[in-house]
Amino acid sequence: MVTKKQRTTRTIRGKVKEVAFPTGETWWTFYCPGCKHGHTINNTWDFDGNYEAPTFSPSVLTYGSPWEERRCHSFVRSGHIEFLSDCTHELAGQTTALPPLPKRLSQ
């Protein structure tokens, strides 16, 4: 009898935290310097596999909690995060290098 892989694996590499579930779903987390917290996407996005200078597509659009009016819309390309002008934070319209994962996200 073949046993299926049931373990969830967590990997911190470069600027990306990767959580791979036995179901085949994968989550990737990067740190957003505009929102000052991590954004997590799953493998319905494309990831080029470059953990040091990742590219995710398509763009990542997030909203704040129901009690906070917030919008963050960005492209992550080659280790840079390009904020579109419809972001509500101070980095709207700017491109910045993707920072390393802060310690609180690296666990």
6 vs 63 by CB, closer to Zn ion: 63
48 vs 90 by CB, closer to Zn ion: 90
CB of residue 32 vs Zn ion: minimum separation in angstroms? 3
22 vs 64 by CB, closer to Zn ion: 64
Residue 98 burial (10 A CB sphere; 0-12, 13-18, 19+): buried
E-assigned strands of the chain?
9-13, 16-20, 26-32, 37-42, 46-47, 56-63, 71-77, 80-83, 95-97
CB of residue 74 vs Zn ion: minimum separation in angstroms? 6
List residues binding Zn ion (CB under 5 A): 32, 34-35, 72
Peptide bond into 33 cis (omega under 30): no
CB of residue 38 vs Zn ion: minimum separation in angstroms? 9
